Structure 1
Amino acid sequence: MIRKTTKLAAIGGAAALFALLPAIAHAAAPAHGFDVEAATRAYLDTLQGPARAQSDAYFEGGYWLILWGALVAVIVDGLLLRFRFAAKIRDVVMAKTQRLWIVTWAVALAYTIASFVLTLPWSIYTGFFRERQYDLLNQGFVAWFGEQLTSLAISLVVVPLIIVAIYAVIRRAPRSWWLWGTGLVALFAIFGAVVAPVYVSPLFNTYSEMQAGPLRDRIVAMAAANDIPSEHIYVFDASKQTKRISANVSGLGPTIRISLNDNLLNRTTPAEVAAVMGHEMGHYVLNHVWISVFFISLIFGLGLFLIARIAPRVIARHGDRWGISSIGDPASLPLLSLMLGVYFFLATPALNTLIRVDEEQADVFGLNAAREPDAFARVAMRLSEYRKIEPGRLEEFLFFDHPSGATRVRGAMEWKAKNVPNPQIVIPPPLTE
């Protein structure tokens, strides 16, 4: 199935980190005659010609998708406001009941369906045709669209509940609703992290126990060394959807589980699997779920704070035209959605930085846990199928929510220089399917 001051602090901290990268690289470079930059270049040079051009084109095209996607969302919400869609739904339902939570639920339900339908052409292009164009999607259209309908069904259950709760808070605490609303969003996020592995993920993929053998034994040993529950290790059939490799340690409390997709098993070596699993275990041990919920909630809270200050003024000026009486009126939903969408578009660098910092920390943890720097470097190169391998420093800061392949390979070689006795430069073989 995501802080004005916090944003500035995150951006400033990340900028300082990037500024120090050259010094860090030089400090770690020659160990026992091992040249980190030469070892890094040996991996990066395995991606050349049409393969590199396609990787760059796919990822760089995604920069524009961020902008166009935000514009599509603004246009859709603008149309719903222009034609008083939410106000009409509110009036129809209020003619039958005066219970505001029912009215809000109905407006939220109708809004979710309308948004899905109006953005469907964009979703089909970005999620189906573009993915097929770059040979990243294995599904036909019927299977792909069926999953979109499944996602819609989940949204029709979850989204109205969240919106009903937030509007109830707006009406009960008109001055401080943004603060309480932030807390509600955080609680829903935590609840989602608990239930998603058990009840949501199986709606899209089949999960089965990983077969016994040396690889499973190694994963179990790594988990035990880091106090991660490993009674169940699942493999899921992501190959029916995509060729991408992935794994995760998901869930909270009783739903914690280790999962890896069949692409990871089928397209990589056991050492590469161990490197990936070490990284994913790092997210669990370093409490990245809780940290992400906290900081993303702060960003979300800042957005709600700004909306709480700006929306009433917009409604006072244009509310009659849109059929909105106040910010607590369910008919204001498209307006609040529009404003929140613009805010999150502007906050993209801050959100990317938060995620990327977590990923960098998990990379270091995974290298220490698996002790497979060359395998980790090979995995980083495999991810070039859909991630630009060598972006500029500012480009990586703005658009990457994970470290680039070059950053990851260099980090692995730096770790190798420091931790492997008598390290040698490896001339990696060409990437294989």
Structure 2
Amino acid sequence: MARKIGFYGVIAYFLYGLFFYWYLFYFADTSLAFEYEGSRADPATFLNSRELMLSEGYSKIRDLLFFLSTPFEWLFYLFIMLLGFSNAFKKWAEQSSKFKFIQISIYLIWLSFFSFIATLPLSYISYSLSKSYNISTQSFGGWMKDELIDFWINYGTMLIIVPVLYWLINKSRKRWWLYAWLISIPFTLFMMFLQPVVIDPLYNDFYPLKNKELEAKILDLADKANIPAEHVFEVNMSEKTNALNAYVNGIGSNSRIVLWDTTLNQLNENEILFIMAHEMGHYVEKHIYFGIAGYLLLSLVGLYLAARIMEQVISRWGNVFKIPAVNDIRSLPLFLMIISMLLFISSPFSNFVSRYQESRADKYAIELTKDTEAAIQTFQELTRAGRSQVNPPLLVKIFRYGHPTMLERISYLEEYEIKNRSK
């Protein structure tokens, strides 16, 4: 039975990969409708032929890697169970210590290590791709350092969550998912509070914006929007990428407005102010807090479904997967696989909500700055720097895009400009 499940798993993954290869390289049409040709949303008007070719080539390969990587994670967890690795991890942990917490930590380090090794080739391909298309400027050593930081942060997070999770399962087989969700609320808020000041600085150096004249204009914009900001931060992303970005993260007193130095180097002042106005739109419309509420609601549904699915799978195929019960640590790969699947299935919905919020932030930014020229040029430069498609395929938009497409964003600005000319 184990061989049969493994065989069908590999075949399903192979057919899935073939479908997306065919879809992205042969079926999907990224050309613009007639009414958009020649507009400022048409990439032919602001990208040269080489840039157009690079954007199309890079986007197709990057999107294929995205669609291959998540199901590969499911396949990895499936074989960890079928081949008895989860069983071996538990045996090694029990032989190393009689203390439960130490046993869990040893089990987790083995599972995390095998997961890291299994997914490293895909991560390296993604890194090499962005390097070859002149998006990544990071050295191999710098990239590997970030990968190792990811590894230890993920391991540390798991070391906090997993012992609590299995303690709850042992205490209540029927309602552990609810108690786990209740505990996740303060934990999520605490991690968001720590993110800007503890986790982010592990990857990059953050410092107050050096251009004080620009900072004064950004803070003046924030004052008009009634945002209590005292500093704007910049981060040295040029050591890693040529892409552009800016964001607001954190909650409470730890919230930060952050600009990548690539954005500062490649955009003019008006374009930067538009980006900042966009980020302020998220703050004004409380998107961070709506996002937290949405995440917590989805996690409640996800934990409930995971609990029900785990019970069904273990009762039917527990012997095949070598999992005697839900409360056994050997069920962790199954739990992680189910959560990953649920996240993938729910991503079209979460991306739809995110695109709506981003479009609202765009609307707020243009209403605040009234500078459509700077706004359009900003989106054109973002497209050029990120080798992005203006009009991505439908499935890519649904599963990958948390922002409106550049076609939608620039077209909205052109319509806004026309309406305001007529006033």
Partner of 1:380: 379
| 1:116-161 per-position Cα deviation (integer Å, ceiling 9, x unaligned) | 12211111112x1111122110012111111111121212211221
In 1, distance between residues paired with 2:117 and 2:393?
38
What code does the residue aligned with 1:226 have?
A: A
In 2, distance between residues paired with 1:183 and 1:377?
44
Q: Unpaired runs of 5+ in structure 2?
A: 1-34
In 2, distance between residues paired with 1:343 and 1:412?
35
Partner of 1:63: 63
**After the TM superposition, which of the residue ranges 163-172 and 255-264 deviates more from structure 2?**
163-172
In 1, distance between residues paired with 2:413 and 2:36?
9
In 2, distance between residues paired with 1:240 and 1:205?
9
Deviation at 1:239, TM superposition (A): 0.3
What code does the residue aligned with 1:109 have?
A: I
Residues 279 and 365 of structure 1 are in contact (CA less than 8 Å); yes or no, is this contact kept in structure 2? Answer: yes
In 2, distance between residues paired with 1:207 and 1:221?
22
**After the TM superposition, which of the residue ranges 402-411 and 280-289 deviates more from structure 2?**
280-289
Residues 209 and 235 of structure 1 are in contact (CA less than 8 Å); yes or no, is this contact kept in structure 2? Answer: yes
Partner of 2:172: 173
Equivalent positions of 1:311-390 (< 5 A) are 311-384=310-383, 385-390=386-391
Partner of 1:82: 82
Residues 247 and 264 of structure 1 are in contact (CA less than 8 Å); yes or no, is this contact kept in structure 2? Answer: yes
| 1:142-192 per-position Cα deviation (integer Å, ceiling 9, x unaligned) | 111111111212122112212222222222232122233333444333222
Deviation at 1:299, TM superposition (A): 2.6
In 1, distance between residues paired with 2:236 and 2:135?
15
Equivalent positions of 1:80-119 (< 5 A) are 80-95=80-95, 100-119=100-119
What code does the residue aligned with 1:107 have?
A: Y
Residues 206 and 233 of structure 2 are in contact (CA less than 8 Å); yes or no, is this contact kept in structure 1? Answer: yes
Equivalent positions of 1:116-265 (< 5 A) are 116-126=116-126, 128-265=127-264
SS across alignment from 1:157: helix
In 1, distance between residues paired with 2:204 and 2:41?
37
Residues 41 and 406 of structure 2 are in contact (CA less than 8 Å); yes or no, is this contact kept in structure 1? Answer: no
Aligned CA distance change for structure 1 residues 306 and 376 (closer, same or farther; 3 Å): same
Task: Give the number of aligned pairs.
Answer: 387
Partner of 1:310: 309
Residues 360 and 403 of structure 1 are in contact (CA less than 8 Å); yes or no, is this contact kept in structure 2? Answer: yes
| 1:55-87 per-position Cα deviation (integer Å, ceiling 9, x unaligned) | 133223333223211231122112211232233
In 2, distance between residues paired with 1:41 and 1:87?
55
Equivalent positions of 1:263-302 (< 5 A) are 263-302=262-301
- Fraction of identical pairs, as percent: 25
Residues 43 and 378 of structure 1 are in contact (CA less than 8 Å); yes or no, is this contact kept in structure 2? Answer: no
Q: Please, what TM-score do these two structures have when normalized by structure 2?
A: 0.84
Q: Unpaired runs of 5+ in structure 1?
A: 1-34, 424-433
Deviation at 1:316, TM superposition (A): 2.2
| 1:363-401 per-position Cα deviation (integer Å, ceiling 9, x unaligned) | 111212222222111111122233211236675345422
What code does the residue aligned with 1:214 have?
A: E
Residues 219 and 231 of structure 2 are in contact (CA less than 8 Å); yes or no, is this contact kept in structure 1? Answer: no
CA RMSD of aligned residues (A): 2.5
Q: Could you say which structure has the greater relative contact order, defined with CA pairs below 8 angstroms and 6 or more residues apart? A: 1
In 1, distance between residues paired with 2:345 and 2:214?
43
In 1, distance between residues paired with 2:243 and 2:317?
47
Residues 74 and 337 of structure 2 are in contact (CA less than 8 Å); yes or no, is this contact kept in structure 1? Answer: yes
**After the TM superposition, which of the residue ranges 182-191 and 64-73 deviates more from structure 2?**
182-191
Deviation at 1:100, TM superposition (A): 4.2
